[in-house]
Structure 1
Amino acid sequence: MTQHDFDDEEDGFPEWADRIKANVAGEVRRRRKGRGWSAQDLADRCERLGHPIPRNVIANMESGRRTNLPLVDVMVLAAALETYPVCLIFPVGYVDQTQELPFQDLVPTWDALRRFTGEEEVSTHDAGLVPRFEHHVRLVRTALACLEEEGQARFATKTATGRAQREEAERKQAEYADRAITTKYQLRSLRRKIRDGGATPPDLPPALHDVDPPETDTNPHPEERL
Structure 2
Amino acid sequence: MTQRRFDPGDDEDDVPEWADQVMATVAAEVRRRRKELRMSAQDLADRCEEIGHPIPRNVIANMESGRRASLPLVDVLVLAEALHTYPICLLYPVGYVDQVQRLPLQDSEQTWDAMRWFTGDREDFGMEDNMLRSFRAHIRHERAALVALKGEKHERWKAATAPNQTEREEAVLDQADYAERALDAKYQLRSARAFIREGGGTPPHLPPELADVDPPDTDTTEENDL
The TM-score normalised by the length of structure 1 is 0.83
Deviations 1:132-162, CA, capped at 9 Å, x for gaps: 2222222112211221222222223333444
- Letter paired with 2:61: A
Aligned positions, number: 215
Within the candidate set 128, 136, 139, 1:137 is matched to 139
CA 177–100 in structure 1, closer or farther in 2 if over 3 Å, else same? same
The SS at the match of 2:17 is helix
How many Å apart are 1:211 and its aligned residue? 0.6
State whether structure 2 residue 164 is matched by structure 1 residue 159.
no
> Aligned AA for 2:87?
P
Distance 1:12 1:135, change over 3 A: farther
Structure 2 equivalent of residue 16 of structure 1: 18
**Given that residues 155 and 174 in structure 2 are in contact (C-alpha distance below 8 angstroms), is that contact kept between their aligned partners in structure 1?**
yes
Specify every segment of 5 or more residues in structure 2 that has no aligned partner in the other structure, as ranges. Answer: 220-226
Aligned partners of 2:167, 2:181: CA distance in 1, in Å? 21
Residue 198 of structure 1 corresponds to which residue in structure 2? 200
Higher mean C-alpha deviation, range 84-93 or range 115-124: 115-124
Shift of 1:192: 0.8
User: Which residues of 2 match residues 5-154 of structure 1 at below 5 A?
Assistant: 15-154=17-156
The answer to whether the Cα contact below 8 Å between 1:12 and 1:102 also exists between their aligned partners in 2 is no
- Structure 2 CA distance for partners of 1:166 and 1:16, relative to 1, 3 Å: same
Q: Percent identity?
A: 60
Task: Tell me how large the CA RMSD over aligned residues is.
Answer: 2.7
- 1:147 maps to a residue whose letter is L
TM, length-normalised to structure 2: 0.83
Question: 1:170-185 residue pairs with structure 2 within 5 A?
Answer: 170-185=172-187
How far apart are 1:216 and its partner, in Å?
6.0
Uncovered stretches (5+) of structure 1, i.e. residues with no partner: 218-226
